[in-house]
């Protein structure tokens, strides 16, 4: 079982960030640990964010510190209250709690503005009238130094005046920006007079129309960390080149604390896209049913699919934290999910692709209720009763008329066990006019009821089944990877790599007990996989999402070409 994420001192992980923190604490460079998870409220959280959440909240727990949830809401155009709510729900669902430490970068707008004036007064920032295109052209390249803007030498008083007028709304969008005055010849392009403020006459979800200039990410992030007394500001590797700028601001501003930035490798997952831009496109263009479509790598999609939060935490722990970018095989996630569901999901019988099996030796109107084990991994889960009758449904794939050597399921003349019921022997097949097999006939051995044969004879196959008369129809949504190749977009347009078979909907026949499954309830359909009742489920029309399949030994044999 996974440890409670909020329990201190249960952390046994080791990684380079934990090593840095231990060293900082031992050397007295830090007296406590404060981290933050800083999402931009411009989309739903995905499994990559889950890695960051588990890391940041995990560090706080491991070192007896705290982790803040801070919305990095500096871009009013893309942000939305819906995202702010979903993000909080998802972090809580993952098992983490920020307590009173919920913050918004927009709460610091006034302080950030004052500090910008401070930089101007120190001669460290200036208002630039160059257009966005010119600023880009003047910036230079990795091999060529940039050129200084003609406005770089503006006197302090003029800069202050213009910046105040930017704030008061005198100028249209894009007319001017405030830039730091650092070094246009710096090898690191981020230090070539980065933009601190841009003019944007846009309504902000939280500050409304109070502002028409907005600070950039780079100018906001470190100062927000400093204001919150964050000690270790952990972000992904693409910010490594921004660290000198992060430090420059901290060094030149009268901030109340001196946070340090550390970078780790972001999560990439095979068969998956994790760019927010792409996820938004999948939703907007209707490739999926919404942010919580069970094929989406979003936390809400994984939840709806039936992935338990502790499986995600376990996944995060298992993949670890490193400094080199790599792609994790999505099979690792599936493994963690199976691991957790195996111990907790009750077993039920369901048939996805039924064929009728008539037990000729069983009375026409006979019926009995047999004991079935709810979870062999958990004796406390007890047993339930399942109805048996003369006409059953079994999985079409569990019968072969002319079976290859290693096929141990039903075949003409072959005896198998019907789980929790009887040994049955196939005696005949019934065909329709087109020659297709539509029904199987069998006899049963009453002496094997619910157990083994008294004479000790063995069978190699055990099949699941439902009673045709008692079974109820349920919609089963069978999900596969949303993308058909492990590296979507590696050759050509990523949208062309969408898997056309990522969702197959079938009408399953399920044992009656499943009609009452509550939404979110995880079950194992025996021999088929883990399923979860969808929010759309109802007693009239049960709906189940396949969370993950079981490892199918026969399918594996076939894949290896054995027969």
Report in angstroms how near the CB of residue 54 gets to ligand ATP at its nearest: 10
Q: With respect to ligand ATP, which residue has the nearer C-beta, 266 or 441?
A: 266
The Cβ-side half-sphere exposure at 109, using a 13 Å CA radius, reads 22
Q: Can you give 206-265 as a three-state secondary structure string? A: CCECCCCEEECHHHHHHHHHHHCCCCEEEEEHHHHHHHHHHHHHHHHCCCCCCCEEEEEC
Residues 6+ apart with CB under 8 A from 67: 34, 35, 36, 37, 56, 57, 59, 60, 96, 98, 101
Is position 207 an interface residue for ligand ATP (rule: CB under 6 A)?
A: no
Is position 101 an interface residue for ligand ATP (rule: CB under 6 A)?
A: no
The rounded distance, in Å, linking the Cα atoms of 38 and 70 is: 5
Which residue lies nearest ligand ATP, judged by its C-beta? 48
Are the C-beta atoms of 417 and 451 separated by less than 8 Å?
no
Catalytic one of 276, 304, 313, 419: 276
Report in angstroms how near the CB of residue 163 gets to ligand ATP at its nearest: 26
Report in angstroms how near the CB of residue 543 gets to ligand ATP at its nearest: 30
Q: With respect to ligand ATP, which residue has the nearer C-beta, 72 or 526?
A: 72
Catalytic one of 266, 278, 396, 485: 266
Report in angstroms how near the CB of residue 211 gets to ligand ATP at its nearest: 20
In the window 11-40, what residues touch ligand ATP (CB under 6 A)? Answer: 38-40
Is position 88 an interface residue for ligand ATP (rule: CB under 6 A)?
A: no
In the window 489-548, what residues touch ligand ATP (CB under 6 A)? Answer: none
Is position 280 an interface residue for ligand ATP (rule: CB under 6 A)?
A: no
Report in angstroms how near the CB of residue 394 gets to ligand ATP at its nearest: 43
Asked about 228 being catalytic, the answer comes back as: no
Report in angstroms how near the CB of residue 375 gets to ligand ATP at its nearest: 34
Are the C-beta atoms of 160 and 166 separated by less than 8 Å?
no
Is position 261 an interface residue for ligand ATP (rule: CB under 6 A)?
A: no
Helix (H) or strand (E) holding 531: strand 529-533
Q: What is the dihedral of CA 200, 201, 205, 208, to 10 degrees?
A: 130
Is position 58 an interface residue for ligand ATP (rule: CB under 6 A)?
A: no
Report in angstroms how near the CB of residue 236 gets to ligand ATP at its nearest: 4
Q: With respect to ligand ATP, which residue has the nearer C-beta, 65 or 542?
A: 65
Q: With respect to ligand ATP, which residue has the nearer C-beta, 258 or 266?
A: 266
Q: With respect to ligand ATP, which residue has the nearer C-beta, 75 or 159?
A: 75
Strand partners, 252: none
Report in angstroms how near the CB of residue 244 gets to ligand ATP at its nearest: 18
Is position 353 an interface residue for ligand ATP (rule: CB under 6 A)?
A: no
The rounded distance, in Å, linking the Cα atoms of 11 and 317 is: 10
The rounded distance, in Å, linking the Cα atoms of 49 and 153 is: 42
Is position 281 an interface residue for ligand ATP (rule: CB under 6 A)?
A: no
Is position 267 an interface residue for ligand ATP (rule: CB under 6 A)?
A: yes
Residue from 3, 20, 24, 42 that binds ligand ATP (CB under 6 A)? 42
The rounded distance, in Å, linking the Cα atoms of 525 and 541 is: 17
Is position 266 an interface residue for ligand ATP (rule: CB under 6 A)?
A: yes
Residue indicated by tokens 């739903």: 44
Is position 304 an interface residue for ligand ATP (rule: CB under 6 A)?
A: no
Stretches 45-53, 106-114, 253-261, 395-403: which one binds ligand ATP (CB under 6 A)? Answer: 45-53
Q: With respect to ligand ATP, which residue has the nearer C-beta, 274 or 429?
A: 274
Q: With respect to ligand ATP, which residue has the nearer C-beta, 90 or 398?
A: 90
User: How many residues touch ligand ATP (CB under 6 A)?
Assistant: 14
Residue from 5, 17, 48, 171 that binds ligand ATP (CB under 6 A)? 48
Is position 278 an interface residue for ligand ATP (rule: CB under 6 A)?
A: no
CA 163, 165, 168, 170 torsion: positive or negative?
Answer: negative
3-state secondary structure of 41: coil
Record the tokens describing residue 62, joined without a space: 């491991």
The rounded distance, in Å, linking the Cα atoms of 463 and 138 is: 72
**Going along 57-99, which residue ranges are E strands?**
66-71
Q: With respect to ligand ATP, which residue has the nearer C-beta, 42 or 190?
A: 42
Residue from 5, 51, 127, 526 that binds ligand ATP (CB under 6 A)? 51
Asked about 266 being catalytic, the answer comes back as: yes
Q: With respect to ligand ATP, which residue has the nearer C-beta, 38 or 309?
A: 38
The rounded distance, in Å, linking the Cα atoms of 386 and 470 is: 9
Catalytic one of 18, 40, 278, 441: 40
The rounded distance, in Å, linking the Cα atoms of 166 and 164 is: 5
DSSP summary character for residue 448:
G
Residue from 130, 274, 400, 557 that binds ligand ATP (CB under 6 A)? 274
Is position 236 an interface residue for ligand ATP (rule: CB under 6 A)?
A: yes
Report in angstroms how near the CB of residue 222 gets to ligand ATP at its nearest: 13
In Å, the largest CA–CA distance within the chain is 102
Q: With respect to ligand ATP, which residue has the nearer C-beta, 47 or 533?
A: 47
Asked about 158 being catalytic, the answer comes back as: no
Is position 276 an interface residue for ligand ATP (rule: CB under 6 A)?
A: yes
Nearest to 512 by CA among 353, 345, 348, 391: 348
Nearest to 506 by CA among 396, 389, 419, 430: 396
Computed on alpha carbons and rounded to an integer, the radius of gyration of the chain in Å comes to 31
Record the tokens describing residue 326, joined without a space: 């790599």
Is position 49 an interface residue for ligand ATP (rule: CB under 6 A)?
A: yes
CB count within 10 Å of CB 165 equals 13
Helices 309-319 and 47-62, axial angle in degrees (round to 10): 80
Distances (CA, A) of 245 to 36, 194, 293, 326: 19, 9, 39, 26
Which residues of this chain interact with ligand ATP, rule CB under 6 A? 38-40, 42, 48-49, 51-52, 235-236, 266-267, 274, 276
Residues tagged active-site: 40, 266, 276
């Amino acid at each position: 079982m996974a440890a409670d994420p909020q329990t201190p001192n249960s952390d046994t992980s080791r990684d380079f960030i934990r090593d840095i923190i231990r060293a900082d604490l031992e050397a007295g460079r830090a007296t406590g640990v404060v981290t933050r998870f800083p999402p931009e409220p411009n989309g739903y959280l995905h499994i990559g964010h889950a890695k960051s959440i588990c890391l940041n909240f995990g560090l706080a727990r491991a070192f007896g510190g705290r982790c803040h949830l801070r919305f990095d809401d500096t871009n009013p155009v893309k942000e939305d209250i819906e995202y702010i709510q979903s993000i909080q729900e998802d972090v809580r669902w993952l098992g983490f709690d920020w307590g009173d430490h919920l913050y918004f970068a927009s709460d610091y707008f006034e302080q950030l503005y004052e500090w910008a004036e401070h930089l101007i007064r120190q001669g460290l920032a200036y208002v630039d009238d160059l257009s966005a295109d010119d600023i880009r052209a003047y910036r230079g390249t990795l091999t060529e130094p940039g050129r200084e803007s003609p406005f770089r030498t503006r006197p302090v008083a003029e800069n202050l005046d213009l910046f105040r007028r930017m704030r008061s709304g005198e100028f249209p969008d894009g007319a001017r920006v405030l830039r730091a005055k650092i070094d246009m010849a710096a090898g690191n392009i981020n230090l070539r007079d980065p933009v601190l403020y841009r003019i944007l006459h846009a309504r902000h979800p939280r500050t409304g129309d109070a502002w028409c200039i907005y600070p950039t990410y780079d100018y906001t992030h470190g100062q927000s960390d400093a204001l919150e007394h964050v000690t270790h500001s952990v972000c992904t590797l693409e910010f490594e080149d921004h660290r000198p700028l992060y430090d420059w601001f901290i060094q030149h501003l009268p901030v109340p604390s001196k946070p340090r930035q550390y970078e780790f490798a972001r999560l990439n997952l095979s068969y998956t896209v994790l760019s927010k831009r792409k996820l938004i496109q999948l939703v907007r263009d209707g490739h999926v049913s919404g942010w919580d479509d069970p094929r989406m790598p979003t936390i809400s999609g994984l939840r709806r699919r039936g992935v338990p939060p502790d499986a995600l935490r376990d996944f995060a722990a298992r993949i670890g934290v490193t400094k080199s970018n790599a792609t994790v095989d999505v099979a690792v996630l599936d493994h963690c999910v199976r691991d957790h569901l195996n111990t907790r999901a009750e077993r039920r019988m369901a048939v996805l692709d039924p064929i009728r099996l008539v037990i000729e030796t069983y009375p026409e109107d006979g019926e009995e209720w047999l004991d079935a084990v709810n979870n062999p991994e958990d004796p406390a889960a007890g047993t339930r009763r399942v109805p048996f009758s003369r006409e059953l449904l079994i999985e079409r794939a569990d019968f072969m008329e002319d079976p290859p050597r290693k096929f141990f399921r039903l075949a003409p003349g072959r005896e198998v066990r019907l789980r929790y019921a009887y040994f049955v022997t196939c005696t005949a097949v019934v065909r329709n006019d087109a020659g297709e097999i539509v029904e199987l006939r069998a006899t049963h051995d009453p002496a094997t009821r619910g157990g083994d044969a008294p004479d000790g004879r063995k069978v190699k196959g055990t099949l699941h089944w439902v009673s045709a008369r008692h079974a109820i129809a349920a919609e089963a949504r069978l999900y596969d990877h949303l993308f058909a190749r492990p590296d979507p977009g590696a050759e050509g347009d990523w949208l062309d790599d969408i898997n056309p078979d990522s969702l197959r909907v079938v009408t399953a026949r399920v044992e009656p007990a499943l009609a009452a499954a509550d939404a979110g309830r995880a079950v194992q359909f025996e021999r088929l996989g883990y399923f979860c009742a969808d929010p759309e489920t109802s007693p009239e029309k049960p709906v189940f999402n396949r969370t993950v399949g079981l490892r199918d030994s026969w399918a594996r044999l076939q894949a290896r070409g054995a027969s």
